[in-house]
Amino acid sequence: MIDLQVTCVKAGLFTSIQDGGRSGWQEFGIPSSGFLDRHSARLANLLVGNSVNGPVLEMTYTGVQVRFSAMASIAITGAQCKINVDGRKLKSNRLNRVEADSVLRITEIQEGARVYLAIAGTWQVETAFESASPLRNFLPQNRIQKGDHWQIRHPNLSERQQISELKIKDRQTRSLKEPLSLMPGPEISYLSKEQRLHLVRCQFEILPQSNRMALLLSAADFGPFVSSTMLSSGLFPGTIQCTPSGQLMLLLADSQTSGGYPRVAVLHDDLLDLVAQARAGEKLSFQWSAGKFSS
């Protein structure tokens, strides 16, 4: 059996190895990290027969070019994009087979921000705290640069249960154009009545400084926020903090585990996959959740 070597020919704007992330280290200040669009990443792994929380490549805004040293089974999910292997066009959301020495090119990512590439087999990549997701000062090398390469063991098709195609529903039935459901956060009372109304009336623009730690959101009518000091307290992805200048920070997978900005609202956990596909410049709006979320 031949192992597979994957080599990055072109890295794209921000490409990293991501998996299901880290659990149990938050009390030491280690973020959970992992796939931003968990749904799409797990789908890709499912298609190639890998463990759903195993490593994939996560691309942001621009795609990668990678070379496969041997035959590989791959699946690409997430935002819409063009996929080309040595002149042959491939489709997203299905199992594809590529030949030895072929080069995969992912281009024109649109209708979303992030694309996932799963490759069948066991990825021989470094981990820290039981995860291959990059972690500053501990695992910086899993952010992918041109020339990086790694081995994948047992890449052949027959050993695994692969699914040729999946019907994609769920996320596609929702759109970022619809208001996202929020639950009140622990410090909701820090907002004035007017700000609470504005939170669900304004269109918030996603600022370009947004990254894997947080989407920064701004609305002309919302700011500035009269800050009250609070003691640092625990945070997790989906929490919306309000900064003194009146920006909102919608926390994503790489967020700090604690902070001192008021936690004014919390996004429903299953909407995180949707907002992970939001691009800078796009607008988000919110609505209060209809469910009962009082304590």
Contact residues for another protein, defined by CB under 8 A: 23-30, 32, 135, 137-138, 183, 185-186, 230-236, 238-239, 256-259, 263, 266-269, 293-295
Which of 69/239 has CB closer to another protein? Answer: 239
Q: Which is nearer to another protein, 83 or 267 (CB)?
A: 267
> CB 260 → another protein: shortest distance, Å?
10
Q: Which residues are bridge partners to 259 per DSSP? A: 233
Smallest distance from another protein to CB 162, Å:
26
What minimum distance in Å lies between the beta carbon of 27 and another protein?
A: 6
Question: Taking the complex as a whole, how short is the minimal distance between the CB of residue 221 and another protein, in angstroms?
Answer: 25
Shortest separation between residue 170's beta carbon and another protein, angstroms: 16
23 vs 80, which CB is nearer to another protein? Answer: 23
CB of 263 to another protein, least distance (A): 8
Nearer to another protein, 24 or 281 (CB): 24
29 vs 87, which CB is nearer to another protein? Answer: 29
Q: Which is nearer to another protein, 110 or 228 (CB)?
A: 228
Q: Degrees (nearest 5) of the Cα angle 167, 112, 219?
A: 135
